[in-house]
Chain A
Amino acid sequence: MAEQILDVRDISVARGDVPIVYDVTLGVQPEAVTVLLGANGAGKTTLLDGIAGLAKTTSGTIGLAGQAIAGLPTYRRAHAGLGYAEQARTVFRSLTVEQNLLVARTGNGDLGTAYRLFPELERRRALGAGHLSGGEQQMLVLARALLGEPKVLLIDEMSLGLAPVVVRRLMSAVRELTSLGIAVLLVEQFAHLALEIGSRAYVLRKGRVVFEGPCADLAGDDDLLKQYYFGTAEDPAEHDDTAEKVAAEGEAR
């Protein structure tokens, strides 16, 4: 397997005491977009939360550029180079656009790069983040993540509730991130858009990886994707929906 900047091995993640993600192994290659797909409630957000330290990992290891980070608190994972653009446009509404960026700046984090990638934000730098449109708020979340100088950026459902034209704009920005040397792990409901910009894909179903391979293997084949999303009647996991329900709650927050 090619060199991986984020190396997740046999990780299990729980919400409270309920296990949601089981023994997942995945890798993110440098300067590439890796796509993580799955139906609602598959455990995608829980997995990202586990990698970022927001949800409890009960087993497994997480390596970031050779450094083991599974035992670190969330903010130290960020300092180690792990960025996370959570879903639901988590801007700090009481701060201005620029203040949102400044609070996240570490080391040589550069406002100029963020503004070059999202010139819309520079025009609104003094505006309260709560007054931005949904698309602009999502841009701000991505730009803010850049100020932490991440080696790997986890992006969760950035298209949620946004117009298709805005989603395409964001996707092109994600592609640009890789040219800045950032590796991306992208969770996305618009699978076909994500597969267009991704190099490698994983599909999660009921907390387990059921597909791993090049994005090209899934692109354009809706039936295959559906099969990986929902499985078959013989799949034993079909009969245990507790974890799925809890994961869905986690992803809806």
Chain B
Amino acid sequence: MLGSVVAGLTSGGVYALLGLSIVLTYRLAAVVNFAMAVIGAMGAFVMASLTDAGLNVWPALIVGAVSGGLLSAVLGAGLVRWFGAHALRTKAAVTVAVYVALMALGLRLFGSVTTGARRFPQPFDAPAFVVGDVVVPQAALVSLALAVLITVGVTLLLGRTMFGLRLQAISERPATAEVVGIPAPRLALAVWTGIGALTTLVIVLVAPRLGGDFSTLGNLVTTALAVAMIGAFHSLWLTLAGGLLLGCLEGAAASLEAVQAYRGVLPFLVMLALLWWRSRHEVWDTATAAR
């Protein structure tokens, strides 16, 4: 069991990174981005296609990350241009539509679960250490280190730099931020581009372990949303912890024969539990309840 939990950390770092991408998009661009993972998958498959064509892995990775960043920037620009003043739920609905469209396009371009699994390069596949009978690969440490690095880095960026303060201002009051001279659309685009590129890197990191098919990778948004909910879409540290927790839970579930076939529902169970927990003090509107 302990070994399985440690093995779950391999996924935990990646889940944390995906959750951080969701939280950052929400905090800095005021959008719950359902299309985030599928955009990352698009970038990752651009990279895989280039390596399949014989390109060296590092330039392919750069092109893939740039592709994911640009795709994300296009979505961000559309949201800023046409939906900037709309409610959060409207913008979320737009990203759902983009998710559906990109999923269909990706499956068409890169194939389905059975036909489209790609061989992603595994530069960090060597074992890092062994716990019991579980070999923990370097990829687990890389994703963990990256998650901690991004959490610390973004926390410092937002709190200690003018760029970060201006991003906070934009996320809170985009119109007012422009009124005081902050080029909100330009900074928002930078955020969308950066998060798109980051998500691509994360998907590339996790792809070999999940089978490398477009559908599975694009649907990682479910896990990312569950992790973001643990961080209440705000706290970067709670999101980091949430990702690791979910990874460990998944590892533990994998070791129990009775539940291992159902471990895919874990993100949904986490969401349900959080929704129940956070709404436990809510009071029903008495006028409505009395009817």
Contacts and interface: CB of A to CB of B under 8 A. Distances in A.
Contact of A92 (B168, B181, B184): B168
A104 interface: yes
Interface centre among A73, A75, A78, A90 (most CB of B within 10 A): A75
Contacts of A104: 180-182
Contact of A90 (B166, B168, B176, B182): B176
A86 interface: yes
Interface string B164-196: 011011001101111111111100000000000
Contacts of A145: 180
Interface residues on B, range: 10 to 19
Contacts of A75: 178-179, 181-184
Interface residues of A, number: 24
A145 B165 CA distance: 17
A99 interface: yes
A79 B172 contact: no
B178 A74 contact: yes
B165 A102 contact: yes
Contacts of B178: 53-54, 73-75, 78
A84 B179 contact: yes
A102 B159 CA distance: 13
Interface in A53-105: 53-54, 73-75, 78-79, 84, 86, 90, 92-95, 99, 102-104
A50 interface: no
Contacts of B166: 103
6 contacts: A52-B179, A74-B175, A75-B179, A78-B178, A102-B165, A103-B166
**Shortest Cβ-Cβ A-B pairs, 3 listed:** A78-B181, A104-B180, A74-B178
Interface of A: 52-54, 73-75, 78-79, 84, 86, 90, 92-95, 99, 102-104, 106, 144-145, 147-148
